[in-house]
Amino acid sequence: MIRSMTGFGEASAQIDGVHYHVEVRSLNNKYFKAVIRLPDQLQSLEAEFESELRRRISRGSITMTASCTDSGVGGAHIVNHEALEHYIEQIRRAPMIADGTVRVDVSGLLTLPGVLSPPVDSEDRLDRARRAMLPLLHRACEGLLGMREREGRLLADELLSHRSQIAARLTRISERAPTVVSEYETRLRSRIEMMVKGTEVVVNPADLIREIAIYAEKSDIAEEIHRLTGHIEQFQQLLTQGDGNPLGRTLEFLSQEMLREANTIASKSPDSEISRLIVEVKGAIDRIKEQVQNVE
């Protein structure tokens, strides 16, 4: 069964006073593309998270967002008092301050380089974050893949519906095709009889047969019908008997081949009924081509 490339999954946990949250979203893309958004203190885990995403997801535009919130004392940054005093002293000595008295915004001072330092156990905290977030990423991916499978089932039903429309029109084309030459022969004989009526002109039967044979050769669509029938049978087989591997690119290629055969039928057959039916076939194939863009 096919899977959609659109999905969403998330997971969170509270471990030792730290709240961890992981969110994964996916949209359609020809290839695998990952965008990973992490807090500054977790940036070194980006490659590890991307590797895990690649292992679970083969195709799509993936956005992973992770957060880590420590509301306890252990998560507090350390204020470098020497650096802070140095900044304040420089401000007091500014030429525009006459008496050395100045009011400053403390929150602004804390953003200056070197004033705040991460907790001294940052490596230990990073290791704890890794151990906590990898299982959360696994759970989020499970949720995303589950949504992809549910949407894939709906997508498969719709694609099979379009395939059924093509098969029904193709059956009617197959039934109509053999009568096209015989109708042409009838029209040709009638037209010739009208043209030579009242004259002494004699039409050579061999010339008439040769003209009909040329028409039959030019308008023969049996091979195209056979190939298009094979394509839609393979299309159904892929949708209903998939082994779980990504099928999006295979279905895209197959839909292109289906359209190629339909275009050839349209160009070769001069029959108005077949032309009308093949327009409906091409419309169904176009809808298939659009929808398989979202198949993994």
CATH code at position 267: 1.20.140
Q: Which residues pair with 13 in a beta bridge?
A: 20
CB atoms under 10 Å from CB of 259, counted, come to 18
Q: Give Cβ neighbours of residue 156 (< 8 Å, ≥ 6 apart).
A: 1, 2, 239, 240
Q: Which domain holds residue 204?
A: 151-294
Q: Given this model, what pLDDT does residue 127 score?
A: 87
Instruction: Give, for all 296 residues of the chain, the pLDDT tens digit.
Output: 789 999 999 999 998 888 999 999 999 998 999 999 998 888 889 999 999 999 999 899 999 999 988 765 455 566 777 777 777 777 776 666 655 566 666 666 667 777 666 555 467 878 888 999 999 999 999 999 999 999 999 999 999 999 999 999 999 999 988 888 777 777 767 777 677 666 766 667 776 777 777 777 778 888 999 999 999 999 999 998 766 788 899 999 999 999 999 999 998 888 889 999 999 999 999 999 999 999 99
In a domain, 256, yes or no: yes
Same-domain status, 97 and 200? no
Domain count across the chain = 2
Domain final position from 60, 86, 110? 110
Q: Verify that 205 and 285 share a domain, yes or no.
A: yes
Please state, in angstroms and rounded to a whole number, the distance separating the CA atoms of residues 19 and 17.
7
Answer whether 87's CB lies under 8 Å from 46's CB.
Answer: no
Q: Which helix (H) or strand (E) holds 117?
A: strand 116-117
Helix H or strand E segment including 130: helix 122-196
